[in-house]
Structure 1
Amino acid sequence: MRSLVNTFFTLLLVIQLQAQVSLDTDKEFASSEQEIAFSNSDSQMGNNGFKFETFTTGINSKYSDYGVGFFKDKFISFSARKIGALAKLDPKTNEPYTKLYCSDITYEWDLRRPLLFSHILNKGENLGTISFSKEGDRIYFSKSSKEDTQTFQLYTAIMNPDNEGEWINITALPFNSTLYSIENPHLSKDGRTLYFSSNMPEAIGGYDIFKVTVKSDGTYGDVERLEGSVNTVLDEKFPHTSLDGKYLYFSSNGHDSMGGFDIFRSRNTSFNYVATRNLGNTINSLKDEIAFIPATKTIGYFTSDREGGKGSYDIYKTNEYIVDQNVTGIIRDTETQILLSKATVVLLDANGEQVATTSSNLDGEYTFPVDAFVDYTILAYKEGFERNSISFDTNTNLVSTFEANISLDAKPAEIVETEEKSFIKIDNILFDFNSDKIKDISTITLNTVIATLQENPTIKIDIKAHTDIQGSNQYNLKLSKKRAASAMKYILGKGISKDRLTSEGYGESQPLIDCTICSDDQHEQNRRVEFIIVRD
């Protein structure tokens, strides 16, 4: 959108400039050097987690001006501004009939003097919202009926491939009807879905937002009212998707709006539209705010009849303050609060769909980038532990980090039975170097043994400790006996009866791997503590 004006639009503007009739007066336009920030502090609604700064634009007149969107690096609007001295008045608004205009956009996203967009489209009736295909070769636009200047119908047209700037094959959409109005067309980025507002009989209120599939052969699917939390028994109008397609912006005088129409945002999921939120009092006022149009992640435009404007409706530019957001947390063992590394952590959205997966680091930490105003669930699991989850919502656009810590309960250790022996299967017990002091991380393993003993109150175990072949036989035997006794002491300290436990050390006499020149891994496997079930 910030690219240089292309050849096509240069030619188009030359044609338009030649045909342009002088407007009433240069004083009609606001100066981009005179932007004024607006405050809505008189409203009772808070900022709702959003923060906007709002400014006038350079194209407002003393008549009604409405923003529409973008086409070929131009800003498109429709306006009742008077062209010539004998402009025909709409008897219902007492303003001139609305026409389509296009404006240059500066690098500061200000707007410059509007020019008539198309003499072919700008006929006698009111023109309203217009939407363009991604390639710019097809349009959908709304035009009032001749019988009722405030009842609109939808039309489509294509650009003449032999005459750029000329729209041909103007065709009414097949679901038009003189019995109701169809307004505010908006085509999705992929060109497959056309959104619009209508008071057709299927609406649950006055005006609802509908959608229809645009098929590859140019035909249309069934008209569907948007499911989810968008439509109310009052009016919803001006649908417009976000740049990434995740959200639908729209205006409504339902949803407990502040005054008339407010701007809302609803999240698009695979099921329906959820989490509808008012954008708050830093953009909405006690008057009408309609037709929100995102330009970048933070810059957008909207239309309002708020106090202090130049005409009955004016176009405003807005800058949203957004911070990059993430959720971070620590995975711990529930009983010991020891940090758990290599736990699998999964981020789920409100529909249970997986958004991302990661593993906790050596400090038990994880982090995910997240979006604002979404209900999430964090699921964590690790071998030897029960799964656990925690839910949270990112209920603001202004907080950079959310915290969600999770504790995992260790599972009871497994009992394994073979022909030779029965034993409790565990990870190896780790000790400090040349010491019988149990490392903190191994207290989790010992707790799983305790849980198994508690679940099986009749079994007895013999704790057998072994060393590797490094060091003297006498030293290794003494060290192993102390390590076996240390493990037994820990278990006794957790309430297991002494008559269920025995311990013994075997030094290096019973290696798991018989080697004379052993690798570090072989030494580690030979250093072990076994929990053998004593058979009667």
Structure 2
Amino acid sequence: MKLLVNTIFALLLAIQIQAQESLDSGQDVASLEQEIAIINSDPDIGNNGFKFETFTTGINSKYSDYGVGFFKEKFISFSARKIGALAKIDPNTKEPYTKLYCSDITYEWDLRRPLLFSHILNKGENLGTISFSKEGDRIYFSKSIKEDSKTFQLYTAIMNPKVEGEWINITALPFNNTSYSIENPHLSKDGETLYFSSNMPEAIGGYDIFKVKVKSDGTYGPVERIEGSVNTVLDEKFPHTSLDNKYLYFSSNGHNSMGGFDIFRSRNAALSYVATRNLGNTINSNKDEIAYIPATKTVGYFTSDREGGKGGYDIYKIREYVVEQNVAGIVRDTETQIPLADATIVLLDANGEEVATVNSNNDGEYSFPVDAFLDYTILAYKEGFERNSTSFDTNTNLVATFETDITLDAKAAEIVETEEKTFIKIDNILFDFNSDQIKDISTITLNTVVTTLTQNPDIKIDIKAHTDIQGSDTYNLKLSKKRAASAMNYILSKGISQDRLTSEGYGESQPLIDCTTCSDAQHEMNRRVEFIIVRD
């Protein structure tokens, strides 16, 4: 332990000295600061909210085997397994050059004995990761250059429409450069984005993950290093999008790696990838874990050189036990505690990026699915109310629902001035049928009138209540007077002085819409309470 502490201290000191030298020379030291953060990270991260069960696949050899993806319901891998007595040996790995293989997949996602995938593609040097278009008619693959088996370039080919299984028109991608390596191609499900890893000069570390747009005419856009929290000053490789494109999986020996390369996941936030998380110790180890390949929502494959394997690197199957968590709550008016329907609730991650948006139901309720071991913020807003937010974390790996209610303060009602009158603009005041009893939901509206009167102590208002034409004139007049008085009494109960308020009922004598055979909508518009500002 003492040796470990001394080693880390010495390494930190060396980096700090290097940082000071860079600072003295005017160079950017942001990458060095990130390197210090990586060294300070805790490798004992636990399961980090993920639960995986790992299985051997049965296709591994005494050499290195790597999983790469799927093609027409077969599992594709590349392997250094020896074929024949005169197999060409890679001077760097001391194993035979890798070739592509395919395996049948059982209904339980086990893999059958691998067979050579393509004699055309398997010619020459090391073959690496490959990726297919959704239709299976185009392939992207990496292959090492003759001069250096550790330097790869990217190629594409198409399926011969006349000969099943024959790949033709093998073409090097235009951004290849033998001065650096381009590896691990992965084509997005829609075929519009090609991801890869490279140590090209634009990388902030050793290897970074890049992307390029694949245009409909077969040309490519500019190469871009992906934005967000994925790339570090160390190495990021083996990008692979999730089946629903919500996440990017990749391997890194940076971040909070437990040792060597670990598998990480970042959330797709449209223009960047954020909220990077280590998949935890039920899949990662102190060895290398690379090339995560999702097959379903809960089944996938990865490659590792962990202890207990059959060869150098082996392919493993994993089953994920999804920890289902939710955050749920009720949006209420702060003063009345009445639930607010149709409020907009936004779930934000720790970086302030939007994860999801919902509207509250008629009971003010909302809910979101959330991930374990993350920090979130909930932002709620509704017309006529001030915005409010609250934060919470899901620091547990248990199935759980986090109760998070949120309240909104009603804004002051707007004062509107026209040629005919000046009035306080509000939603209509609702009453029970044939009653002067104010509905609970309308007390929120009346509170906005109270706020306006409080903020404008010099104004006085005349409360005018109106009914529709249903019922007798006498009854409607009496009902409107009671309703005007009910509205005034509510405002008085909130501390507004009596000398600032008057009320009167007008029955059906002053309709907004003059109709004899009125629709329900017209009746509703005629039933109203007005708050007219009185000028001295």
Question: How does the TM-score come out when normalised to structure 2?
Answer: 0.79
Counterpart for residue 164 of structure 1 = 164
* Contact 2:343 2:380 survives alignment (8 Å): no
In 2, Cα distance between equivalents of 1:347 and 1:135? 35
Matched, 1:212 2:185: no
Q: How far has the Cα of 1:365 moved from its partner?
A: 2.8
Counterpart for residue 381 of structure 2 = 380
Counterpart for residue 313 of structure 1 = 313
Q: Give the match's secondary structure for 2:148.
A: coil
Counterpart for residue 53 of structure 2 = 53
* Contact 2:194 2:213 survives alignment (8 Å): yes
The two structures, once aligned, show a CA RMSD in angstroms of: 3.7
**Residue by residue, what CA displacement relative to the aligned partner does 1:296-337 show, whole Å, maximum 9, x if unpaired?**
222111001112222221101111223677664433222211
Q: How far has the Cα of 1:471 moved from its partner?
A: 7.4
Q: How far has the Cα of 1:375 moved from its partner?
A: 6.2
* Rg comparison, structure with higher value: 1
**Residue by residue, what CA displacement relative to the aligned partner does 1:144-191 show, whole Å, maximum 9, x if unpaired?**
333333333333334444433333444444444443333222233333
Counterpart for residue 340 of structure 1 = 340
In 2, Cα distance between equivalents of 1:287 and 1:530? 74
Q: How far has the Cα of 1:227 moved from its partner?
A: 2.8
In structure 2, stretches of 5+ residues that fail to align are: 1-41
In 2, Cα distance between equivalents of 1:508 and 1:136? 74
**One-letter identity of the residue aligned with 2:333:** D
**Residue by residue, what CA displacement relative to the aligned partner does 1:366-418 show, whole Å, maximum 9, x if unpaired?**
45677887967645323x43455567788899757565544333232333445
In 2, Cα distance between equivalents of 1:130 and 1:364? 49
* Contact 1:322 1:397 survives alignment (8 Å): no
Q: How far has the Cα of 1:95 moved from its partner?
A: 2.5
Q: Give the match's secondary structure for 2:150.
A: coil
Counterpart for residue 137 of structure 1 = 137
* Contact 2:347 2:376 survives alignment (8 Å): no
Cα gap change, 1:83 to 1:421, in 2 (>3 Å): closer
Counterpart for residue 238 of structure 1 = 238
In 2, Cα distance between equivalents of 1:415 and 1:156? 66
In 2, Cα distance between equivalents of 1:517 and 1:313? 83
Counterpart for residue 457 of structure 2 = 457
Cα gap change, 1:94 to 1:450, in 2 (>3 Å): same
**One-letter identity of the residue aligned with 1:194:** L
* Contact 2:468 2:511 survives alignment (8 Å): no
Give matches, 1:30-429, under 5 Å.
Answer: 44-123=44-123, 125-322=125-322, 328-343=328-343, 358=359, 360-367=360-367, 378-382=379-383, 384-388=384-388, 405-417=405-417, 421-429=421-429
* Contact 1:492 1:498 survives alignment (8 Å): yes
Cα gap change, 1:154 to 1:459, in 2 (>3 Å): closer
Cα gap change, 1:217 to 1:363, in 2 (>3 Å): closer
Counterpart for residue 512 of structure 1 = 511
Q: How far has the Cα of 1:456 moved from its partner?
A: 1.6
* Contact 2:375 2:391 survives alignment (8 Å): no
Q: Give the match's secondary structure for 1:149.
A: strand
In 2, Cα distance between equivalents of 1:154 and 1:342? 51
Counterpart for residue 35 of structure 1 = none
**Residue by residue, what CA displacement relative to the aligned partner does 1:230-277 show, whole Å, maximum 9, x if unpaired?**
221111111222223332211110012011100012233332222222
* Contact 1:43 1:285 survives alignment (8 Å): no
Q: How many corresponding residue pairs?
A: 492
**One-letter identity of the residue aligned with 1:201:** P
In 1, Cα distance between equivalents of 2:400 and 2:376? 16
Counterpart for residue 4 of structure 2 = none
**One-letter identity of the residue aligned with 2:381:** A
Cα gap change, 1:502 to 1:318, in 2 (>3 Å): same
Which stretch has the larger CA shift, 156-165 or 342-351?
Answer: 342-351
In structure 1, stretches of 5+ residues that fail to align are: 1-41
In 1, Cα distance between equivalents of 2:519 and 2:138? 72
